[in-house]
Amino acid sequence: MTDINRIPLYRTIWRWHFYAGLFVIPFILMLSVTGAAYLFKPELDRWQERGWRGLPVAERVDADAQVAAALAAFPGATFHYYRVPEAPGDAAIVHFGLPNGTMRDVAVAPRGEVIGSADPDDRISAWLAKIHGSLLIGKPGGIIVELAASWAIVMILTGLYLWWPRRRGAAGVVWPRLGLGGRTALRDLHAVTGFWVSGLALVLLLTALPWTDVWAQGFRAVRAEMGWVQGAQDWKSGGDAGHHAAHDHRAMAKATPAPVAVGDAPRVPLDRIVLRARNENLPAPVIIQPPGAPNHFGPPNGNTWTLTTQTQNRPLVRKVSYDVVTGIEVSRSGFADKHVIDRIVGIGIAWHEGALFGIVSQLIGVLTALMLMILAVSGFLMWRRRKPGDALGAPPLPRDPAKLKGVAAIVLLLAALLPLLAASLILLWIVDRLIIPRLPRAAKWLGMARA
């Protein structure tokens, strides 16, 4: 029987899997931990706001008085939106833009006193989003994460090829033979975990692409060119500042006109819109934007009161606008009104953030993260066990590269779909052709020396 390890295609894919895995292991661990924690963003935000809940409701004031109290506590601030309390004893959250360009969430008790404030960028969920999306270093970090995600796709696809049973039974393929111990148990744990998590991991990686920088810029251009635009894009992408719906609060505060303040006295009071909001039964957190308020994903709000929700479950999002003078509903839009491409992206993002099916999605996300961590750790241990002391331990080069046209075609297809992968492949080709031949010791250590 032919030794599979001697087949050029197998050895080449094994090498791709090895190098891709070695590069992405630290990112898989980081993204798994931060991503699993971010799945519980609603719970984390509620925990941080625990002191703003269960307050006395006697002598309650209306929403307009609450906003006026918040404005009095922060002179010069501009009113961006009012977050409707979820329960009668919860504080209202008034979201402001401060004169220095920062943002502030101001908690106002039902009786009208300001009881606290917080910078939304300092929330635990905001820090998790920044680490997860940009490694806390902005756009360069986002590009690094996108590159790692591209190579993670390569790692998963090549891993599935290596896992393929090839006339073996279910043991070691569908379930690991842990009782055998040693290298076999570790190899089975890695291969079987990779098989079970591969589909979920690919979905997570693909649904993250609309948030990226390089890939999303191209996607947005294609989307516009093909006419796949129906309404404003409601996710950050292609050079936008945030990941996981994080917003560039400083830029938004500086780039938008000051909204209408309560002192400007619109004819329809905010409190009347709050009453209408309760009848809409929108999922929390529900917000009301005043006329002229900044919009996180598009142009500033027009001359209307606009009701919407910040829920991460995008298929449940809808927006209702009311005339500022009469209070009559002037427009209504929902998920079904968006282009099918936007709906697909929205469903994908809701799944990625663990919001699509509530606690079920969150638990599936945690399970996926745990399996990815097992995959990363077991892969690292396998490498350390077989790594020689004087080399990286890469699988040997195939002796007949001429038989690898199929691999080249697959690589070119992936590169066409993932621009950062293509750029890194070009760089690797330059290194392999121009630099490695001049560094024989480095080539031998990396496993790139040719016999």
- In tens, the pLDDT along 391-403 reads 999 888 776 655 5
Cα 312 from Cα 383, distance rounded (Å) = 39
pLDDT (0 to 100) of residue 224: 84
On whether residue 86 sits in a domain, the answer given is yes
Residue 152 and residue 13 share a domain: yes
* Band (344; pLDDT cuts 50, 70, 90): very high
Question: Coil, strand, or helix at residue 440?
Answer: helix
Residue 19 and residue 168 share a domain: yes
Residue 414 and residue 369 share a domain: yes
On whether residue 390 sits in a domain, the answer given is yes
* Band (259; pLDDT cuts 50, 70, 90): very low
Question: Coil, strand, or helix at residue 311?
Answer: coil
How far lies 211's CA from each of 52, 62, 205, 215, in Å?
32, 38, 11, 9
Q: Is 80 exceeded by the pLDDT of residue 313?
A: yes
Residue 107 and residue 180 share a domain: no
Which of 49-53, 161-165, 254-258 has the highest average model confidence (pLDDT)? 49-53
Round the CA-based radius of gyration of the chain to a whole number and report it: 26
- In tens, the pLDDT along 201-247 reads 999 999 999 989 999 999 988 888 888 877 666 666 554 444 444 44
Cα 358 from Cα 165, distance rounded (Å) = 35
In the chain, the percentage of residues whose pLDDT exceeds 90 is 66
* Domain end marker among 279, 312, 330: 330
CB-based burial of residue 422 (10 Å sphere; 0-12 exposed, 13-18 middle, 19+ buried)? middle
- In tens, the pLDDT along 103-146 reads 999 999 999 999 999 999 999 999 999 999 999 999 999 999 99
DSSP for 184-232 reads HHHHHHHHHHHHHHHHHHHHHHHHHGGGSSHHHHHHHHHHHHTT---S-
Residue 280 and residue 141 share a domain: no
Bridge-partner residues for 126, per DSSP? none
Instruction: State the total domains in the chain.
Output: 2
**Domain of 436?**
4-39+130-211+360-446
On whether residue 157 sits in a domain, the answer given is yes
H or E element, residue 80? strand 78-83
Residue 140 and residue 28 share a domain: yes
- In tens, the pLDDT along 416-449 reads 899 999 999 999 989 988 898 899 889 889 887 6
Cα 30 from Cα 263, distance rounded (Å) = 47
Residue 32 and residue 101 share a domain: no
Cα 98 from Cα 76, distance rounded (Å) = 7
Cα 327 from Cα 304, distance rounded (Å) = 9
pLDDT (0 to 100) of residue 297: 56
Residue 441 and residue 370 share a domain: yes
- In tens, the pLDDT along 66-110 reads 999 999 999 999 999 999 999 999 999 999 999 998 999 999 999
Give mean pLDDT, residues 22-35. 97
Cβ-based neighbours of 272, under 8 Å, separated by 6 or more:
327
291-297-299-302 Cα dihedral, nearest 10 degrees: -20
Bridge-partner residues for 175, per DSSP? 171
* Band (5; pLDDT cuts 50, 70, 90): low
Residue 95 and residue 29 share a domain: no
pLDDT (0 to 100) of residue 262: 45
Question: Coil, strand, or helix at residue 383?
Answer: helix
Residue 193 and residue 137 share a domain: yes
Residue 135 and residue 116 share a domain: no
Residue 164 and residue 134 share a domain: yes
pLDDT (0 to 100) of residue 404: 64
Q: What is the pTM of this model?
A: 0.89
